[in-house]
C-alpha cells in the first residue's frame, strides 16, 4: 500500500464554506470530503500509466547498456559547466 501524503492547499472562502456544509450534512471530516472529491475527479479522468509519461523507459532503448546510467547522466551534465 502506498503511504498517505499530507498536503496543504489554499481554497477560496466560498469553497471552504461549501465543504463545511457537505461535511456537516454527511457527518464526515473536511479531509474526507476532499479525499472523496479527489477520488471522483480521478475516476472521471482517462487513466495515466508510467509508460505514457515522456522519457519513461528511455534509458532501456540506449544501444550501449554497458554504461552505468548515473555515470552517463553525470557526463551529460558536466557539459553544462563548460
DSSP 8-state assignment for residue 28: -
Q: Is residue 5 one of the residues assigned to a domain? A: no
The verdict on residue 65 lying in a domain is no
Q: If you compute the radius of gyration of the chain from its CA atoms, what whole number of angstroms results?
A: 22
20 lies in which domain range?
13-44
Kindly state whether residue 18 falls inside one of the protein's structural domains: yes
Look at residue 62 and tell me if it is in a domain. Answer: no
Q: How many distinct structural domains can be found in the chain?
A: 1
DSSP string of 16-74?
Answer: HHHHHHHHHHHT--HHHHHHHHHHHHHHHSPP--GGGSTTTTTGGG-S-TTS-HHHHHH
Q: pTM here?
A: 0.54
pLDDT band of residue 61 (cuts 50, 70, 90) is low
Average pLDDT for 60-81: 75
Report yes or no on 49 lying in a domain: no
For residue range 26-58, what is the model confidence (pLDDT) as tens digits? Answer: 999 999 999 999 999 888 888 777 666 677 666
Quote the DSSP letter at residue 55.
Answer: T
Quick check: is 68 in a domain? no
pLDDT grade for 73, boundaries at 50, 70 and 90 = confident
Residue 27 included in any domain: yes
Q: Is residue 17 part of a domain?
A: yes
Amino acid at each position: 500500500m502506498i503511504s498517505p501524503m499530507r498536503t496543504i492547499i489554499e481554497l477560496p472562502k466560498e469553497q471552504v464554506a461549501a465543504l463545511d456544509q457537505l461535511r456537516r450534512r454527511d457527518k464526515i471530516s473536511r479531509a474526507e470530503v476532499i479525499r472523496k472529491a479527489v477520488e471522483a475527479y480521478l475516476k472521471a479522468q482517462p487513466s495515466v500509466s508510467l509508460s505514457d509519461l515522456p522519457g519513461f523507459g528511455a534509458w532501456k532503448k540506449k544501444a550501449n547498456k554497458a554504461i552505468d546510467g548515473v555515470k552517463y547522466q553525470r557526463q551529460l551534465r558536466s557539459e553544462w559547466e563548460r
